[in-house]
Structure 1
Amino acid sequence: MGRPHVMVIPYPAQGHVLPLMSFSRYLASQGIQVTFVNTEFNHNRIITSLSKPSQDDHVVDGIKLVSIPDGLDEERNVPGKLSGSVLHFLPTKVEELIKTMISETSSGCGGAVISCVVADQSLGWAMEVAAKFGIRRAAFCPAAAASMVLGFSIQKLVDDGLIDYDGTPKVNKAIQLSPGMPEMETDKFVWVCLKNKDSQRNIFNLMLQNNKSIESVDWLLCNSVFELETAAFEMSPKIVPIGPIGLAHHSLEEGAKSLGSFLPEDRDCLDWLDQQIPGSVIYVAFGSFEFMGKAQLDELAAGLELTKRPVLWVTSYGHQPPIRFESDQVIVVRWAPQREVLSHRAIGCFVSHCGWNSTLEGVQNGIPFLCIPYFADQFINKAYICDVWKIGLGFEQDEGGVISRLEVKTKIDEIMRDNGEFKKRAIKIREIVMKNVVKDGISYENLNKFVNWIKSEVN
C-alpha cells in the first residue's frame, strides 16, 4: 500500500489554523501525506501571505491545501457568527469533500485513501462525518487542557447550580475544577464573556455537541505540556499532551516559516531587534482580533511611552494604534514572525491577550508576561501565567474599565526589574517545556506513538 494519508481540519480562525499547520508539517516530515482543509476565505489569505509562493499554490511544504466555502460574508470575524457557520454550514461541505476524494481514489483518478481525519477538537461534527465513512479519527485541541476540562464539566456546573442550561452563569464566583488547576470566574467562562446571547448560544451548543462527538475518537491530542497542567491531565486522562507542537520541527525552510499565517509577516522588525540591548524590548501583540477601544489604546500607548523603553507593537487588523512617539524607540508592524520575535535575545517582556499559542510561544522562550485577556480561553491562560506558574502580572482597571497609563508603566517596570524574579521563574518553566519535546520527553513520545499508529494501517 502507499503512504498513509491524513486529512486535517482546523476551526477557521488564526489561532487554530497555526498549531494545526505546525502539526501537519510535523506529520509531513514523518513521511505522511497531508491534506489541509481551510475555508475558501482563509485559504486565499494563506496563499496570498506566503513570502515565497510555491510553483503549485495548492501544495506547500509537502502539504496539499484545499478549501471549502463557509457561507459567510463580512460576519466571519465575529466569533459568535463564525461558530454558527461552523455548527450549521461546514459539516455538509466537509462530507461532500470526503465523498469526492473517496470517489476520485476508487475511480483511479489520483489521490490516496484517507487513513485518518485529524480535526480541531471544537469541530466534533467532523468526527461524526469521518465515522460515517469508517475513517479513523483524532481530535486536536489547540488550547490548554484546562479549557477542554471546563467543557467536559458543563453538566456538573449545571447540576451544581453555577450555570443555567444555556450556559448563563447563575452566580458570579471563582471556582477551581480541581486542586492545582487555575481558578475560573463563572462570568468569564469560554462561552460567556462575549456578552452576546446569540454568540453564547452558538458557542455553548458547539461545546455540548463536541463533548458527545469526541467520546468515540481514537486519539484526543492536546497542544500542551503535562507538567504545565498536571491537574487538568489527571482530571481527564484521555487527553494526550503533545505540545508545544511548534517545537516538533526545528528546521523551518525559508519561505515556509509563515505557512498558515493569514497576513504577510514583517521581517524587517527582526533587523530592528538586532540593534536593541538584550532583554530591553517590550513586545506588544494581541492576536488576530482587534478588541481595544480608542480610550484604552491611548492609555496603553501613553504608558509605553512613559517607560522610555524600546517597543515592538503588532496591530494585526485595521487601524494603527494611536502612538505619538517622537523617538525611534518604537516600531509598529501589522503582523510579525512571532516565534522568531519571542526567541530573540532583545525581548524583555510580552504584553499579550494570552491566547494559547502566544502563551506557549512566550513560555518556551522564558519570557515574562503582562496580561490583557478579553475573551474565550484567555482568562484561563492568564490564571496559569499569573497564579499557577507565576511568570506574569495582570493590570488593574480604573472605575471606567480602562487600564491607565500609570498602571501600564508601573507593571512594566515591575516585571522588567534587574533582579528578575519573574524572569527566573520563566526560565524554569522554559526548561520544563524543553524537556518534554526532546527524546524520551512525554510530548515527544506521545507524538511518536501517534505517528506509528497512523502508519500501522498501511504497513
Structure 2
Amino acid sequence: MKIAPGKGIKRVAFRTASATVFTLRSCIQKLIEDGIIDNEGTPTKKQMLHLSPKMIAMSADHLGSTSLGNIKLQKLKDFKALWHPVGIQLVGLLNRVLAHPPVACFMSHCGWNSTMEGICNGVPFLCWPFFGDQMHNENYICNVWKVGIGFNRDERPLITGKEIKTKLEELLENGKYKAKVLDLKERVTNCIKEGGSSHNNLKHFVK
C-alpha cells in the first residue's frame, strides 16, 4: 500500500468482513467529535447508535472491542475503502463440516466468515460472540434474520450448561429457525449466481 502511489498504481483493499466493520472505520472521526468514543476508541457512555440508515442500532459498549483506538490507522490519508457485498465460494474445512447432513446447528462466535458459512449451508445458530463485530452480527442472526438464538448470562456473569441445554432444545424443537435459514440460504445463493447482486458487485469491484 505504501509503495503503490510512488509507482502510479491504484490501491484497493479487499477484506471478507461485515459491512459493520467498514462503516465503523469510516465513522471513527465523527464518533470522536460527537464524544461517543475517546481518542483510544473507548465508549464514553452507554447508548445505542445508528451508524447508517440501512443498519440496525448497535450498542456503544460493543465499539470498544472493534480495535478503533489505533490513531495511526485513523489518520491514514489518500486511501479509500469501498465495500461491496460479495459472495465468496466457501471451500474450507468448517464449510465441509457444516454441509454434513447430521449437523443440526452451529454454535458460533458469529464472526462474519462463520456467519456466511452457517447461512450458506442452511444451518441455524447458537450464538456466543466475544469481540469485534461479532455482537452486531449476533443481533442480525437473532433479531433480524431470526435464524438463531443467543445465550443469557447469569449474575456472575456466566453462560451455564443449563442455559446451553435450554437454548439448544429450543433451537432444535422449533422448526422456524431451520425454515428461516433455508430460505435465507436460497436468497444468498441466488445473489452469488451469475447475474445476482453479489456476483455483479464482484465484477464491478474487479473492473
Same fold (TM over 0.5): yes
Contact 1:355/1:377 (8 A) holds in 2: yes
Indicate whether 1:149 and 2:14 are aligned: no
| Secondary structure of the structure 1 residue equivalent to 2:146 | coil
Question: SS of the residue aligned with 1:181?
Answer: coil
Mapped to 1, the partners of 2:78 and 2:23 lie a distance apart of: 15
Q: Structure 2, unaligned stretches of length 5 or more?
A: none
Alignment partner of 1:354 out of 102, 110, 118: 110
Q: Which runs of 5+ in 1 are unaligned?
A: 1-125, 221-237, 248-256, 259-336, 454-459
- Following superposition, the deviation at residue 205 of structure 1 comes to 2.6
SS at match of 2:11: strand
Match of 2:74 in 1: 208
Select the residue among 89, 97, 108 that pairs with 1:246.
89
* Contact 2:86–2:201, Cα closer than 8 Å, also in 1: yes
What is the alpha-carbon distance in structure 2 between the residues aligned to residue 180 and residue 376 of structure 1? Answer: 20
**Kept after mapping to 2: 8 A contact 1:147/1:380:** no
Local SS of the residue matching 1:214: coil
Conserved? CA contact 1:362–1:368, under 8 Å: yes
TM-score normalised by length of structure 1: 0.42
Query: Following superposition of structure 1 onto structure 2, how do residues 12-51 of structure 1 map, counting pairs within 5 Å?
Result: none
Q: Which has the larger radius of gyration?
A: 1
Give the superposition deviation at 1:431: 1.3
**Cα distance in 2 for residues equivalent to 1:242 and 1:209:** 27
CA shift, 1:136, in A, is 2.6
Runs of 4+ displaced beyond 6 Å = none
**Structure 2 counterpart of 1:433:** 188
Does structure 1 conserve the Cα–Cα contact (< 8 Å) formed by 2:171 and 2:177?
Answer: yes
CA distance in 2, matches of 1:373, 1:206: 27
Shift of 1:206: 5.3
Note closer, same or farther for the CA distance 1:388–1:214 as it changes in structure 2 (3 Å cut).
farther
Contact in 2 for aligned 1:169/1:187 (Cα 8 Å): yes
Partner of 1:321: none
Could you tell me which residue of structure 2 aligns to residue 385 of structure 1?
141
CA root-mean-square deviation: 2.1
Residue 423, structure 1, aligned to residue 178, structure 2: yes
Q: Distance in 2 between matches of 1:389 and 1:175?
A: 20
Q: Number of residues paired by the alignment?
A: 207
- Look up the equivalent residue of 2:85 and give its one-letter code: P
Alpha-carbon distance between aligned partners in 2 of 1:437 and 1:399, rounded to the nearest angstrom:
44
The alpha-carbon distance between structure 1 residues 207 and 373, as it changes in their structure 2 partners (threshold 3 A), is farther
- In structure 2, C-alpha distance between the alignment counterparts of 1:342 and 1:209, rounded to whole Å: 41
**Separation (CA, whole Å) in 2 of partners of 1:183 and 1:407:** 26
Larger strand share, 1 or 2: 1
Q: Which residues of 2 match residues 43-122 of structure 1 at below 5 A?
A: none
Shift of the alpha carbon at 1:150? 1.3
Shift of 1:176: 2.1
Residue deviations 1:203-262 (CA, integer Å, cap 9, x gap): x3354145x4532xxxx5xxxxxxxxxxxxxxxxx422222x125xxxxxxxxx66xxxx
